[in-house]
A = this chain, B = another copy of it.
Amino acid sequence: MNMGTSPVQLQAVQAPGQPDVTPDLEDLYRNFEKEMLVPLWTEIGDLMPSHPRSQAKPHLWRWSNLRELAARAGDLVPVGRGGERRAIALANPSLGGRPFATPTLWAAIQYLLPGEDAPEHRHTQNAFRFIVEGEGVWTVVGGDSVAMRRGDFLPQPGWNWHAHYNVSTRPMSWIDGLDIPFQYLADTQFFEYGREEIPDDEKVSGDLSRSERLWGYPGLRPLSERIPSSGTPLLSYKWEYTDRALAEQLAVGADGLGGGLLDPGHAAIRYTNPVNGGDVLSTIRAEMHRVLPGVETRPRREVGSSVVQVFDGSGTVTVGNETWSVTRGDLFTVPSWKDFSVRSEAGATDSDSGALDLFRFSDLPVFEALGLYRSTVEENR
């Protein structure tokens, strides 16, 4: 009998808390292997640590590199049925080479040339687009064309038909975020092909999508519309409002009216579903943070992982033991239960708002829904 063929491989070691290594124990372990069994006592330290020790690690991807490689892919890789998208995903260095930015989140740069269509499909994976630069591509969701421009956030709840098309004369790239790793690990994925091309008469009917025209007013619900069972019906959160909301929070904070800020000089919004005030997607939370020049945020530690993209400005980021200088477009991961803080650089030349703007998405809604969320903030520095 060749035990070596069992996927289970147990090694008896002489160690505190472990049974004495004897021939009988070795024999027992061989029988465990044969029966596809693994004892808790050899694994408990790894499986049940005193606090999360993420398999993922903090890692940084430079936007300049991503953009350059995406452009080269634009030359070499066609977009069409089968491959579906010219999307290139971040692979966390300690997650086995799989395209997982964190154990639950996918983040990719997508790139579309002038005149190209990315074909229609739908899937249970929840998705969004976020645009750090450029314009000219539209996402069409169930026949509704939604513009994509710098600063816009386009959530897309699972199982909606969608495609992209570039009507401009320049290539465009943006960030896709999805819960692909989570649904892969959980075995919940469904996928269907739609139309290969979007007919011209369905393309770009105006500046605002149907979705925004019906759902894009603060606190006003259109009575004619059905409530979607999951995920937001508002398909674009335009930069104009995000920018104004952050500016007003800082102004309210400065006016001394009380509140407005998370820390002095640190404002933030969460993108929410107007139907219920919850997260835009059942598995993904998205936020935009603005940190004034010279301000350093308090280290914060949370259960769950996130991916952050620098939208504007420059600064220094610390995640766990890693510290990086970052600038527009750079992306990095914040694994579960790692301290995270940022320092905004005074006088950043690439900032429209004069501050450091960070777009962040995370898997926290999953853990809030299941009662597994925890966080700490360092109170005194």
Contact = CB atoms under 8 A, between A and B. Distances in A.
A18 B90 CA distance: 20
B99 A47 contact: yes
A195 interface: no
Given A76-B22, A85-B41, A244-B217, A180 B103 contact: no
Interface residues of A, number: 153
Contacts of A49: 189, 191
A242 B220 contact: yes
A111 to B, nearest CB: 11
A16 interface: yes
Given A260-B224, A277-B276, A187 B305 contact: yes
A303 B372 contact: no
Contacts of A158: 371-372
Interface in A209-253: 210, 213-225, 229-232, 234, 237, 241-242, 244-245, 248-249, 251-253
Interface stretch (A65-73, A133-141, A314-322, A351-359): A65-73
A222 B287 CA distance: 10
Contacts of A272: 219-221, 274
Contacts of A303: 187-188
Contact of A9 (B97, B187, B249): B97
Copy count, this protein chain: 4
Contact of A187 (B35, B52, B77, B258): B52
B7 A371 contact: no
A270 B220 contact: yes
A83 B95 CA distance: 27
Contacts of A262: 223-224
A35 B191 contact: no
A248 B237 CA distance: 17
Q: Lowest 8 CB-CB distances: which A-B pairs, in order?
A: A17-B82, A41-B83, A187-B336, A230-B371, A38-B99, A7-B97, A213-B248, A40-B87
